[in-house]
Every structure is written in structure tokens, then in C-alpha cells.
């Protein structure tokens, strides 16, 4: 599929030391994901720059990539190509979707404020003020709800 986008220069992308072997699959995935021809062209054009950045970080094979390395690469590319650096996250989504790397992002743990909100909203089922040993977060949520309901 890459040959249809770059009929003369496709070999340039296939010969990349790190990302070359996955370039054609990445382009096919972009197409299947609904990316336009222009977006695909911009993404593929960024691969040589990304390949160079990743090799500077000591990555010599795709299996060694992880979220932290790709995120650092994205931050570095934002200085050089601020509007195209998001391609790195798109590349990461492709790699995770095809099982080439493991999704290293940690699931965010629910904060204690979520629990405070649940306790506070349960207290307002009766529209009563909270008991006196309420936390600051519960107190601020309760006052906000009282103001919204017009109770104060």
C-alpha cells in the first residue's frame, strides 16, 4: 500500500533501520483506521525523523519500544515539528494494536476525591447537611451542591 502513496520513494521508508520493516503495515493500518491520504503522507514522512530519534535513544529493535521511550521521543519531536509529533502516539497505537509492543501505560487509580464525591452525593439524597467530621473535599462538594440547589 505504501507504494501507492510513494511510488518512487517507497524504498526510502522500507530501508529505515528500526521502523522500515513495519512501515507498510503502519500505512495499511492508517488506511484501515480512516486516515486521509494527506494525513497518511504526513505520518509516513515523519518516520525517518522518528527512526533517527529512537536510535539515538539506544533502541535497535521494535520489541524494545515502550510508552516511556515513545513519549520522550514525542516530546523531543515537539520542539522540531510541533504539529506532527502526535504521529508518535499514532505509531504507538499501531504497535499496541498489532501486538508488537505491550501497552505500558498504567491504568489510573481512582482518586480519593471520587470516594469523597460518592459519600457526599449519598448524603445529599436526603438534602441534609453532612455530619461534622467531613473532609475538606466533602465540605467543598457539599457547599457547591447546596448552592446549585439553592439551599443556602
Digit-coded pLDDT (tens) for 80-139: 888 888 888 899 999 999 888 887 654 444 455 555 656 656 655 555 555 555 567 776
* Distances 92 to 46, 100, 102, 112, 137 between C-alpha atoms, Å: 14, 9, 10, 31, 37
Give kind and range of the element (H or E) at residue 3. helix 2-5
Digit-coded pLDDT (tens) for 136-146: 777 677 777 76
Residue 112 confidence (pLDDT): 53
Q: Name the phi and psi angles at 36, rounded to 5.
A: -75, 165
Q: Give the confidence band of 29 by pLDDT, cuts at 50, 70, 90.
A: very high
Lowest mean pLDDT among 17-21, 82-86, 110-114, 147-151: 110-114
Residue 126 confidence (pLDDT): 55
Rounded to an integer, the average pLDDT of 59-83 is: 87
Amino acid at each position: 500500500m505504501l507504494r501507492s502513496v510513494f511510488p518512487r520513494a517507497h524504498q526510502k521508508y522500507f530501508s529505515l533501520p528500526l521502523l522500515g520493516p513495519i512501515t507498510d503495515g503502519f500505512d495499511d493500518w492508517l488506511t484501515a483506521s480512516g486516515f486521509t491520504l494527506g494525513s497518511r503522507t504526513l505520518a509516513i514522512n515523519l518516520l525517518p525523523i522518528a527512526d533517527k530519534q529512537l536510535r539515538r535513544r539506544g533502541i535497535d529493535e521494535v520489541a524494545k519500544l515502550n510508552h516511556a521511550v515513545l513519549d520522550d521521543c514525542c516530546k523531543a519531536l515537539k520542539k522540531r515539528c510541533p504539529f506532527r509529533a502526535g504521529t508518535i502516539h499514532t505509531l504507538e497505537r499501531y504497535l499496541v494494536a498489532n501486538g508488537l509492543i505491550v501497552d505500558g501505560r498504567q491504568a489510573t487509580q481512582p482518586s480519593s476525591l471520587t470516594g469523597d464525591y460518592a459519600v457526599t452525593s449519598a448524603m445529599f439524597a436526603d438534602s441534609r447537611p453532612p455530619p461534622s467530621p467531613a473532609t475538606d473535599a466533602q465540605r467543598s462538594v457539599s457547599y457547591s451542591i447546596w448552592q446549585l440547589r439553592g439551599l443556602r
